[in-house]
Amino acid sequence: MLEPSTADSCIVTGWGYQEESGSFSSKLRETHVPIIPIVICNSILHYFGRVDPLSMICAGSGGADACQGDSGGPLMCYSRVRQRWELQGVVSWGHGCGRNNIPGVYAKISAVTSWVNSQMKLLQLNDNDIL
Protein backbone atom coordinates (compact mmCIF):
# COMPACT_ATOMS: atom_id res chain seq x y z
CA MET A 1 0.00 0.00 0.00
CA LEU A 2 1.34 3.40 -0.94
CA GLU A 3 1.38 6.07 1.74
CA PRO A 4 -1.05 8.95 1.17
CA SER A 5 0.53 12.14 -0.10
CA THR A 6 -0.46 15.78 0.09
CA ALA A 7 -1.58 15.48 -3.55
CA ASP A 8 -4.13 12.76 -2.78
CA SER A 9 -7.82 13.48 -2.41
CA CYS A 10 -8.99 12.10 0.97
CA ILE A 11 -12.35 11.91 2.71
CA VAL A 12 -13.44 10.99 6.21
CA THR A 13 -16.95 9.76 6.99
CA GLY A 14 -18.98 9.31 10.16
CA TRP A 15 -22.09 9.93 12.22
CA GLY A 16 -20.28 12.03 14.83
CA TYR A 17 -20.76 15.61 15.95
CA GLN A 18 -20.89 18.23 13.24
CA GLU A 19 -19.23 20.75 15.57
CA GLU A 20 -17.49 20.55 18.94
CA SER A 21 -20.56 21.32 21.04
CA GLY A 22 -23.01 19.70 18.65
CA SER A 23 -24.91 16.44 18.57
CA PHE A 24 -24.65 13.23 16.60
CA SER A 25 -25.73 13.25 12.96
CA SER A 26 -28.78 11.24 11.95
CA LYS A 27 -27.20 10.53 8.58
CA LEU A 28 -23.75 9.52 7.41
CA ARG A 29 -21.63 12.57 6.62
CA GLU A 30 -18.44 12.93 4.60
CA THR A 31 -15.92 15.68 4.18
CA HIS A 32 -12.71 16.17 2.24
CA VAL A 33 -9.56 16.54 4.33
CA PRO A 34 -6.08 17.33 3.03
CA ILE A 35 -3.11 15.21 4.14
CA ILE A 36 -0.78 17.28 6.33
CA PRO A 37 2.93 16.32 6.47
CA ILE A 38 3.92 14.86 9.86
CA VAL A 39 6.70 17.46 10.22
CA ILE A 40 4.12 20.24 10.05
CA CYS A 41 1.67 18.36 12.28
CA ASN A 42 4.32 17.82 14.96
CA SER A 43 5.25 21.51 14.91
CA ILE A 44 1.72 22.50 16.00
CA LEU A 45 1.69 23.56 19.65
CA HIS A 46 -1.05 21.09 20.63
CA TYR A 47 0.72 18.09 19.05
CA PHE A 48 4.36 19.01 19.50
CA GLY A 49 6.22 15.77 18.79
CA ARG A 50 3.34 13.45 19.77
CA VAL A 51 2.39 12.30 16.27
CA ASP A 52 4.29 9.10 15.41
CA PRO A 53 5.13 9.06 11.68
CA LEU A 54 5.25 5.24 11.67
CA SER A 55 1.72 4.74 12.96
CA MET A 56 -0.20 8.00 12.43
CA ILE A 57 -1.45 10.29 9.66
CA CYS A 58 -2.50 13.95 10.00
CA ALA A 59 -5.34 15.28 7.87
CA GLY A 60 -7.54 18.36 7.84
CA SER A 61 -6.82 22.08 7.94
CA GLY A 62 -9.80 23.64 9.62
CA GLY A 63 -13.51 23.88 8.98
CA ALA A 64 -13.92 20.23 7.98
CA ASP A 65 -12.78 17.43 10.26
CA ALA A 66 -13.77 14.29 12.10
CA CYS A 67 -15.28 14.93 15.53
CA GLN A 68 -16.59 13.15 18.64
CA GLY A 69 -18.45 10.00 17.58
CA ASP A 70 -16.42 9.52 14.40
CA SER A 71 -13.60 7.53 16.07
CA GLY A 72 -12.95 4.26 14.29
CA GLY A 73 -14.33 5.62 11.03
CA PRO A 74 -12.42 5.47 7.73
CA LEU A 75 -9.99 7.90 6.14
CA MET A 76 -10.22 7.01 2.45
CA CYS A 77 -7.78 8.42 -0.10
CA TYR A 78 -7.85 8.20 -3.87
CA SER A 79 -4.57 6.77 -5.15
CA ARG A 80 -3.74 8.38 -8.47
CA VAL A 81 -1.09 5.70 -9.05
CA ARG A 82 -3.49 2.78 -8.53
CA GLN A 83 -6.56 4.72 -9.70
CA ARG A 84 -8.77 3.57 -6.82
CA TRP A 85 -9.94 4.56 -3.34
CA GLU A 86 -7.96 3.00 -0.49
CA LEU A 87 -8.43 2.85 3.26
CA GLN A 88 -5.43 4.75 4.62
CA GLY A 89 -6.41 5.58 8.19
CA VAL A 90 -8.88 5.25 11.04
CA VAL A 91 -10.17 8.29 12.96
CA SER A 92 -8.23 8.36 16.22
CA TRP A 93 -7.78 11.69 18.04
CA GLY A 94 -7.29 15.42 17.72
CA HIS A 95 -7.60 18.75 19.47
CA GLY A 96 -11.16 19.93 19.01
CA CYS A 97 -13.01 19.59 15.71
CA GLY A 98 -12.35 21.53 12.54
CA ARG A 99 -10.19 24.15 14.23
CA ASN A 100 -8.06 26.26 11.91
CA ASN A 101 -4.60 24.79 11.35
CA ILE A 102 -5.18 21.91 13.80
CA PRO A 103 -5.58 18.67 11.82
CA GLY A 104 -7.08 15.42 13.04
CA VAL A 105 -4.87 12.42 13.76
CA TYR A 106 -5.59 9.03 12.21
CA ALA A 107 -4.20 5.56 12.92
CA LYS A 108 -2.20 4.51 9.85
CA ILE A 109 -3.55 1.31 8.26
CA SER A 110 -0.21 0.35 6.70
CA ALA A 111 1.27 0.13 10.21
CA VAL A 112 -1.04 -2.76 11.12
CA THR A 113 -1.73 -4.46 7.78
CA SER A 114 0.61 -7.41 8.35
CA TRP A 115 -0.89 -8.04 11.82
CA VAL A 116 -4.46 -7.89 10.45
CA ASN A 117 -3.53 -10.33 7.67
CA SER A 118 -1.97 -12.75 10.18
CA GLN A 119 -5.11 -12.63 12.32
CA MET A 120 -7.33 -13.21 9.29
CA LYS A 121 -5.35 -16.36 8.45
CA LEU A 122 -6.00 -17.67 11.97
CA LEU A 123 -9.73 -17.17 11.45
CA GLN A 124 -10.12 -18.81 8.06
CA LEU A 125 -13.20 -21.01 8.03
CA ASN A 126 -13.73 -24.29 6.27
CA ASP A 127 -16.75 -24.75 4.00
CA ASN A 128 -18.60 -26.77 6.66
CA ASP A 129 -17.87 -24.44 9.62
CA ILE A 130 -20.89 -22.80 11.26
CA LEU A 131 -20.76 -19.16 12.31
Instruction: Identify whether 71 is part of a domain.
Output: yes
User: Distance between CA atoms of 23 and 56, rounded to whole angstroms?
Assistant: 27
- Find the angle CA(67)-CA(61)-CA(96) to the nearest 5 degrees: 35
Instruction: Identify whether 128 is part of a domain.
Output: no
123 or 92: which carries more pLDDT confidence? 92
Instruction: Identify whether 4 is part of a domain.
Output: no
Kindly report the pTM of this predicted structure.
0.87
**5: which residues sit within 8 A by CB, 6+ positions away?**
35
pLDDT tens-place string over residues 17-66? 988 888 999 999 999 999 999 999 999 878 888 999 999 999 998 788 99
Give φ, ψ of 41 to 5 degrees: -60, -45
How many domains would you assign to the chain? Answer: 1
pLDDT reported for residue 62: 77
Domain that holds residue 32: 9-122
pLDDT reported for residue 21: 85
Instruction: Identify whether 130 is part of a domain.
Output: no
pLDDT reported for residue 130: 66
pLDDT tens-place string over residues 52-84? 999 999 999 878 899 999 999 999 999 888 899
